[in-house]
Amino acid sequence: MPDRILTHSSDDTAIVDGTIQHDDRDPDILSLRPERLHEYVGQAEVVETLKIAIEAAKLRSEPLEHVIFHGPPGLGKTTLAHIIANEMGGVLTVTSGPALEKGGDLIGILTHLGEGDVLFVDEIHRTPKTVEEFLYPAMEDFAVDFVFDKGIHARSHRYRLKRFTLVGATTRVGLLSAPLRDRFGIFRSLDFYGIDDLVRITTRSAALLDVAIDEPGALELAKRSRGTPRIVNRLDDRGLTRLDHRYLKTIIDFYGGGPVGIEAISATLQEETDTLVDVVEPFLLKIGMVIRTSAGRRVPDATYCHLGVSVQQKLF
């Protein structure tokens, strides 16, 4: 296990953004994070891929290929980065795309990485373009290029880096540039967890916290977790948050159940479109509480019933 974890992050944001919260830093919460692949529950295909890749890298005495995970928030991307560092015996350095404001920020981190260390960049799609370009030679050749002076006096110097593994995480894989995306050797998607896996996670967490829980209780918590290990309670019986309710009620109350464009919903709710598309809609689409059509978003009859609203309010 690494003897230290370095962090370089931006300001905290609300829980709806899926980013780390103050409670997430509590020692009890951090202790729930699995440290090895055999402890990890769910995402079977991803775990199997990592097992094979890590074993092969160890046999070659080389760092693991660069890895990128994409999917909704809270599904284990950060946890997997910790596990990779532990399995490979390297030190984990944590940062995020928005925190890397200029090239010097990234170069300072890269030059301090040791042989076999792991650099985890959360929300890597938000890395500024000028900073991203420093990643290309770092990932491909384990080097960074410095340019001194300007004009006819300009000189270039290549600084060799220790061989490391870059683990990137993103909720917007479509926003990754092609040059960056193509430099990752392992590219895996994380999906929402099934109920059985969530029950196992809930039971494991309760045992680690020395909290008594029976199987029916674990099942009820799992049902309310939106397919996400990070979320256990504070939700209704389908796992909907206050923002989910506002989103659905907006479509019903203001637009007769739809179809309606996402921009109109965003304007009515006074919420960012990206928040609705990345945080709210994925789970609602998965459980069928909202339907996305070419004409816009609409809610089915089952959603009206769940919210206790008369279907007669529909416009279409």
Q: Which sequence positions are flagged as catalytic?
A: 77-78, 122, 171, 230
3-state helix, strand, coil in the chain (%, to 5): 45, 15, 40
Nearest CA to 2 among 122, 83, 67, 69? 83
Please give the C-alpha separations between residue 202 and each of 16, 37, 287, in angstroms, as whole numbers.
21, 18, 21
The H or E element that residue 120 is part of is strand 118-122
- Phi and psi torsions of 102, nearest 5°: -145, 165
Give start and end residues of each alpha helix (H) in the chain.
Answer: 27-30, 44-60, 77-88, 103-110, 129-141, 178-181, 195-208, 215-223, 242-255, 262-269, 273-275, 281-286, 301-307
Strand partners, 148: 155
Contacting residues for 140 by C-beta, under 8 A, at least 6 apart: 183
How many of the other CB atoms lie within 10 Å of CB of 209? 12
The neighbour count for residue 200, using CB atoms within 10 Å, is 16
- In sequence order, the 6+-apart residues with CB closer than 8 A to the CB of 211 are none
